[in-house]
């Protein structure tokens, strides 16, 4: 038996978390691009039909509305999830948005 570690396996174990993280980064970059293009174009009914009912919502004093969709899960004791919040103008069109993603740690020692 060799005293040297299995180099390909070691490289895979060290780079896999980085690749997974970059996939999430790419996914959220694409989400940003899509959302920016939909400001002033898509209305709240579109998002409700696409994403389902929001987790919560609130009316704004100036007549707009804020809707939030959330998801959270646990894998091997580590929490991960996301929250997408959309702000709509009084006429129901997307005015702004924000999102937050939290994930499992990249490497747990």
Q: Does 109 fall in a domain?
A: no
User: What is the predicted pLDDT for the residue at 26?
Assistant: 75
Separation CA 39–CA 41 (nearest Å): 5
Residue 8 tokens, joined: 């390909």
Counting beta carbons within 10 angstroms of the beta carbon of residue 93, is it exposed (0 to 12), middle (13 to 18) or buried (19 or more)? middle
Q: Domain range for residue 58?
A: 7-102
Give how many domains the chain has, as a whole number.
Answer: 1
Tens of pLDDT along the chain (109 residues) come to: 556 556 565 555 555 554 444 445 677 788 889 999 999 999 999 999 999 999 999 999 999 999 999 998 876 777 788 899 999 999 999 999 999 887 765 444 4
DSSP conformational letter for 63: S
pTM exceeding the 0.85 threshold for the entire prediction? no
In tens, the pLDDT along 49-75 reads 999 999 999 999 999 999 999 998 876
What pLDDT does 89 receive? 97
| Strands (DSSP E) found in 1-109 | 56-59, 65-75, 78-88, 94-102
Query: Is residue 82 situated within a structural domain?
Result: yes
Q: Is residue 83 part of a domain?
A: yes
Q: Report the CATH number that the domain containing residue 80 is assigned in CATH.
A: 3.30.1450
Is residue 108 a part of any domain in this protein?
Answer: no
């Amino acid at each position: 038996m060799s005293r040297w570690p299995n180099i390909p396996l070691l490289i895979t174990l060290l780079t896999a978390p980085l690749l997974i993280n970059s996939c999430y980064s790419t996914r959220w970059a694409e989400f940003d691009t899509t959302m920016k293009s939909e400001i002033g174009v898509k209305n709240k009914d579109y998002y409700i039909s696409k994403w389902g009912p929001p987790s919560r919502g609130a009316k704004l004093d100036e007549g707009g509305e804020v809707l939030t969709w959330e998801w959270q899960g646990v894998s091997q004791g580590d929490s991960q999830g996301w929250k997408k919040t959309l702000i709509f103008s009084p006429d129901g069109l997307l005015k702004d948005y924000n999102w937050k993603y939290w994930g499992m740690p990249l490497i747990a020692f």
